[in-house]
Amino acid sequence: MSTGKQAAAEFFGTFWLVFGGTGAAVLAASVGASGIGWLGVSLAFGLTVVTMAYAVGHISGGHFNPAVSIGLWVGGRFPAGKLAVYIIAQVLGAIAASAVLYVIASGKAGFTLADGFAANGYGDHSPAGYTMLAAIVIELLLTFFFLLVIHGVTDRRAPVGLAPLAIGLTLTLIHLISIPVDNTSVNPARSLAPALFVGGWALSQLWLFIVFPIVGAVIAGLVYRYVLEVPQSARDKIEGPGEDTE
């Protein structure tokens, strides 16, 4: 598969994730009694990953997240030579999604970026008033488990064809836990894009949502690679000579 096609798949996949997830938060979360609320936003993020992982995952692997690409690289699942291309495509897809969302959202009277535009934040900008330390811990922890799940469900011994569903459900759970804390990142591209439009406080707090998802992803990659993953030699012994478990 050409790197160009893979980059295009990552662009469109990340666009869909950011547009669908933050779009649900900006456009549909609080529309009177019919608003979808945090539950609906959580489902929206999960569904974007499920749908695009099935649509283009066979092309690029369906990362849609710089932390995922970095974590898979650390875990020995992704070549270093493609890391920059993937991250650039993901960031551009996220920014394009936020730009389109801004055009749509600004079509409603009373819209203002001061409402947050689904940007991530802590302290005064946390949905429920959580501190910076709370945001650091939850971003690191949830990204760690997100990458642990991704490594596990894409292992050659895992059930075939269920990885996108498991990953999407994990992202839904992550949002159900952490939207009140900091609007949920676990994805530097998702955090960067709305922050560029909001500016000010969103940009000043952006570092947290870049650094700690990546730290969590790196730790997960190392843990799966050196603690949990079964080496090929051990797999052969488990499967036995001549057995086919694929």
Average pLDDT over residues 154-177: 94
Cα-based torsion angle of the residue sequence 180, 181, 185, 191 in order, rounded to the nearest 10 degrees: 90
Q: What is the pLDDT of residue 244?
A: 40
Average pLDDT over residues 134-151: 98
More confident residue, 32 or 177: 177
Among the listed residues 91, 92, 115, 95, the one whose alpha carbon sits nearest the alpha carbon of residue 105: 115
Return the amino acid letter for 43: L
Q: How is residue 196 written in tokens? A: 């560029």
Give the CATH superfamily of 3-103+117-229: Glycerol uptake facilitator protein. (1.20.1080.10)
- Map out the domains of the chain as residue ranges: 3-103+117-229
- At 53-108, the pLDDT tens digits run 999 999 999 999 999 999 999 999 999 999 999 999 999 999 999 999 999 999 99
* Cα separation, 156 vs 153, whole angstroms: 8
Among the listed residues 81, 55, 74, 77, the one whose alpha carbon sits nearest the alpha carbon of residue 158: 77
In the chain, alpha helices (H): 3-23, 37-60, 66-74, 83-105, 132-153, 163-182, 188-198, 201-223, 232-239
